[in-house]
Amino acid sequence: MKIGILTSGGDCAGLNAAVGAVTIAAAQNGIETLGIRRGSVGLMGDEPDYISLNAEKFTHDLMHKPSTFLGTTNKGNPFQYPDGKGAFDDRSDEIIRNIKKLGIDTLIGIGGDGSLEILHNITEKGGVNLIWIPKTIDNDVDETELAVGFYSAVSTANNFLNNLHATAQTHDVVMITEIMGRDAGHLALHSGLAASADIILIPEIPYNLDAIVKKYQSIKESGRNYAQIVVSEAVKDLNGNKVQRKSASGKVVYGGIGEYLKAKLGEVLKAEIRVQSPGHTLRGCAPTAQDMILAKQYGQKAVELILQKKTGRMVAMRDGDIVDVDVREVAGKSRAVDVDGDMVHTARALNISFGDE
Ligand code: F6P
């Protein structure tokens, strides 16, 4: 038996541990593992770009190394792949051909919701077995409580916010910190709650400037002259307006809401406002213990599914247990913050504002 494994979409912590866990568990059962380089791009062209993996390769250094040694891609859909001359080609047949050429029985993809949908469609078209391992700092893959990379990003964002606290206090500054996460606010919510932010703005709860001003005034009345505002990059106001732009490839790109809020709030707060963001450090950080464990559990489970001849499955966490779900249940969906759920409830009960009341 032969497994092909690739990492896809934006990088994050824990990917190398997941690839290592798959390789080691597969080798234990006499299964060969091929690592595909640069995600689906490594399967385009005449010759697939891959590397033979073995258990010995996965030293402690490699297992704990940030990002992905296989490389990845988060640009371009193979069904409409830019040809470099302004037009688009369907490259899906090349990918299917190369998977077959390598003699791969099952492809294991490690990626987020966007990559899953694409790889699911390609493998369906080609009659190739697929197993999915969810990863993303956004933690928005549906049908799972946790994706690899999320908690390392939470930890990095939490450290970033905590390191702002003393200086905000000393210099009476309102710190606005912009946090990645695309259309889901999990990362901002978790890190903001952990770091005791005063205001957390997430895409699932439209904000209004008056509510933010009101909250800041109540902070001042309590005798404090500084505040921490955590803002998820894709938040919207009551009219649904977001700060976004289109990249050259037509992808919606976020970034800039911090400066936008500073300009709006600066007029009314009469406070010094500073904006910063941990940016891609949330992706390039080293894996925390929690992500190392999750990556190993998911990697091992993926191999177990192959041994059980259960494919078309995504490994997932439900109520803290490692389970598997049908990829068709996940493809094309994403998981938002439950605005009536425990996390929001806890934050509100601790007097954290979501900028809505
Ligand atoms: O999906 C992961 C993520 O980091 C998002 O949180 C963010 O919006 C996006 O990727 C940024 O992607 P890029 O590095 O292509 O700008």
Which stretches within 222-277 are classed as H helix? 257-269
- The residue whose two tokens read 């191999």 is 303
Are the beta carbons of 133 and 315 closer than 8 angstroms?
yes
- What's the rounded Cα separation, in Å, for the pair 308 and 299? 15
Q: Which ligand 1 atom is at minimum distance from the Cα of 182?
A: 8
Q: Using the mean position of ligand 1's atoms as its centre, give its distance from the Cα of residue 161 in Å.
A: 20
Query: Quick one: which H or E segment has residue 171?
Result: helix 150-171
- What's the rounded Cα separation, in Å, for the pair 106 and 43? 14
Entry pTM: 0.97
Judged against a pLDDT cut of 90, whether residue 357 lies above it is answered with no
- What's the rounded Cα separation, in Å, for the pair 205 and 131? 34
The amino acid at 348: R
The residue whose CA is least distant from atom 16 of ligand 1 is: 253
Higher pLDDT, 267 or 225: 225
- Confidence at residue 31, expressed as pLDDT on a 0 to 100 scale: 98
Mean predicted confidence (pLDDT) in 154-161: 98
Judged against a pLDDT cut of 90, whether residue 254 lies above it is answered with yes
Same fold, 2-149+287-329 and 152-283: yes
Task: Work out whether strand 252-254 and strand 244-246 pair parallel, antiparallel, or are unpaired.
Answer: antiparallel
- What's the rounded Cα separation, in Å, for the pair 216 and 227? 7
Q: Which of 74-88, 103-117, 208-222, 274-288 has the lowest mean pLDDT?
A: 74-88
Q: Which of 302, 278, 282, 334 is nearest to 14 (CA)?
A: 282
Q: Using the mean position of ligand 1's atoms as its centre, give its distance from the Cα of residue 280 in Å.
A: 8
CA atoms within 13 A on the CB side of 45: 10
Mean pLDDT rounded to a whole number for the chain? 97
- Give the CATH fold of the 152-283 domain: Rossmann fold (3.40.50)
> Which among 283, 285, 334, 335 is the best mutation to test ligand 1's pocket, defined by most ligand atoms within 8 Å of the CB?
283
- Domain borders along the chain are 2-149+287-329, 152-283
Q: Which residues of 296-322 are buried (b: 16+ CB within 10 A; e: fewer)?
A: bbbbbbbbbbbeeeebbbbbbbeeeeb
Query: What is the share, in percent, of the chain residues with pLDDT greater than 90?
Result: 96
Q: Using the mean position of ligand 1's atoms as its centre, give its distance from the Cα of residue 169 in Å.
A: 31
pLDDT digits (tens, 9 = 90+) for 38-56: 999 999 999 999 999 999 9
Q: Which ligand 1 atom is at minimum distance from the Cα of 255?
A: 8
Mean predicted confidence (pLDDT) in 281-300: 98
pLDDT digits (tens, 9 = 90+) for 86-127: 899 999 999 999 999 999 999 999 999 999 999 999 999 999
Residues across the chain: 357
Judged against a pLDDT cut of 90, whether residue 75 lies above it is answered with no
> Which among 110, 115, 180 is the best mutation to test ligand 1's pocket, defined by most ligand atoms within 8 Å of the CB?
180
Instruction: Using pLDDT thresholds of 50, 70 and 90, give the confidence band for residue 264.
Output: very high
- Confidence at residue 37, expressed as pLDDT on a 0 to 100 scale: 98
Name the catalytic one among 11, 138, 140, 198: 138
203 pocket-lining for ligand 1 (C-beta < 6 Å): no
Q: Using the mean position of ligand 1's atoms as its centre, give its distance from the Cα of residue 235 in Å.
A: 15
Q: Which tokens go with 197?
A: 């932010």
- Confidence at residue 267, expressed as pLDDT on a 0 to 100 scale: 82
CATH number for the domain formed by residue range(s) 2-149+287-329: 3.40.50.450
Q: Which tokens go with 19?
A: 């690839």
Judged against a pLDDT cut of 80, whether residue 248 lies above it is answered with no
| Active-site residue flag, 138 | yes
